[in-house]
Structure 1
Amino acid sequence: MSGTTAMRENLRQMIAVLQAERQALAGLDLDAIMGCAQDKVALCGTLDECGPFVEASQIDEECRGLLDAARRLNEVNRQVRNLIAANVAARLDALTGSPALYNAPGNARAAYAYTGGRI
């Protein structure tokens, strides 16, 4: 299998894992989230192995499109994870009746809420 063919197949698998991660995040399924995290790490290792054999000039349009799709899905999933974490922190603060110990200057939760509106 050539370097670009292997990369293309690995990128397709990465996109499938990122979509599964989004579903796991939506369902708050911790086991599935952890499984997706392990799959992503394994695929990153596999992609790293393909990398030295594929130069930037050899990457075709399909691979570039898959790379862009994977990058966008990963960014959306990162934002969703951050929104969930901010929501949990806000609920814990409400339960304890105390402000968060590690609040960033300004209101970080408001920034996440703003970001959430764009998803």
Structure 2
Amino acid sequence: MTGFLTTHVLDTARGRPAAGLRIELHALDGDASRHVTTAVTNADGRTDGPILPGDAFAHGTYELTFHAGDYLRALGADDAFLDRVPIRFAMTQDAHYHVPLLLSPFGYSTYRGS
């Protein structure tokens, strides 16, 4: 089995998936950062496929950047506290990594999902 990476975003203030939120994935090597891909969440708050599929999977340190401010402002939240939400993590096994974001205009949480 090879690994892969998925994500989704839930808008906890509105009680629904966060559709139309842009997400960037970067691979990190020390101070160097390499853009891997950019995706936008669908109506279910998920990307249409793995943000890092098995054929592109490699062990290492990565960062997902969620463009929360753009999403929140598009909904009229001019007073949103958050702009970009970076989540840095390591993938060290050939496994399914799932990194969700629970988002509101003033805070967020994340965890390693399944």
User: When the two structures are superposed, what TM-score results if normalisation uses the length of structure 1?
Assistant: 0.25
Bigger helix share: 1
Larger radius of gyration: 1
